[in-house]
């Protein structure tokens, strides 16, 4: 039976869902078929945040990462990708899991947008009070 040639991780944040596959490689990151820099429109802060889990365990040049992401906005997608990469790295080695866990990369951020309520302008904003 053939052994798997990649490590898999799933991450979610807000309405975004990301799956990450880590292949042995040179450190290239592909998101939805595009290079990460192109997908994130050259946003250096988000690009740096994307590679935080890999940088923490010093595996930036050891893996090529292929990511499929859908839903949500760009910030939520980056957080989902970060969690997916962290989970995939945790399956690589048990000691990497401890390092990532201590840094908080294996914890899902469960905060979601509060729903809009009937009779209000948003989730909480009310109509302006009129005395007369």
Give a yes or no: residue 22 inside a domain: yes
Domain of residue 88, residue span: 6-103
Give a yes or no: residue 34 inside a domain: yes
| CATH code for the domain in which residue 63 is found | 3.30.230.10
Per-residue pLDDT tens for 68-92?
A: 999 999 999 999 999 999 999 999 8
Give a yes or no: residue 116 inside a domain: no
Give a yes or no: residue 66 inside a domain: yes
Say what the pLDDT of residue 3 is: 66
Distances (CA, A) of 9 to 52, 77, 81, 83, 91: 15, 14, 9, 8, 8
Give a yes or no: residue 63 inside a domain: yes
Prediction pTM value = 0.89
**CA-closest candidate to residue 74, choices 8, 5, 130, 18:** 18
Give a yes or no: residue 50 inside a domain: yes
Other CB atoms within 10 A of residue 94 CB: 8
Give a yes or no: residue 56 inside a domain: yes
Domain count along the chain: 1
Per-residue pLDDT tens for 33-71?
A: 999 999 998 889 999 999 999 999 998 899 999 999 999
- Is the per-residue pLDDT at 96 higher than 80? yes
């Amino acid at each position: 039976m053939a052994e798997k040639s990649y490590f898999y991780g799933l991450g979610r944040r807000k309405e975004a869902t990301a799956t990450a596959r880590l292949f042995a490689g040179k450190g290239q990151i592909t998101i939805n078929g595009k290079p990460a820099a192109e997908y994130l429109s050259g946003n250096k802060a988000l690009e740096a945040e994307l590679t935080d889990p890999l940088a923490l365990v010093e595996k930036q040049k050891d893996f090529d990462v292929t990511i499929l992401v859908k839903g949500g906005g760009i910030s939520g997608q980056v957080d989902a990708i970060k969690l997916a990469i962290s989970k995939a790295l945790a399956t690589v080695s048990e000691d990497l899991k401890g390092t990532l866990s201590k840094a908080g990369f294996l914890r899902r951020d469960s905060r979601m947008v509060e729903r809009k309520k009937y009779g209000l302008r948003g989730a909480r904003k009310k109509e302006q009070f009129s005395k007369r």
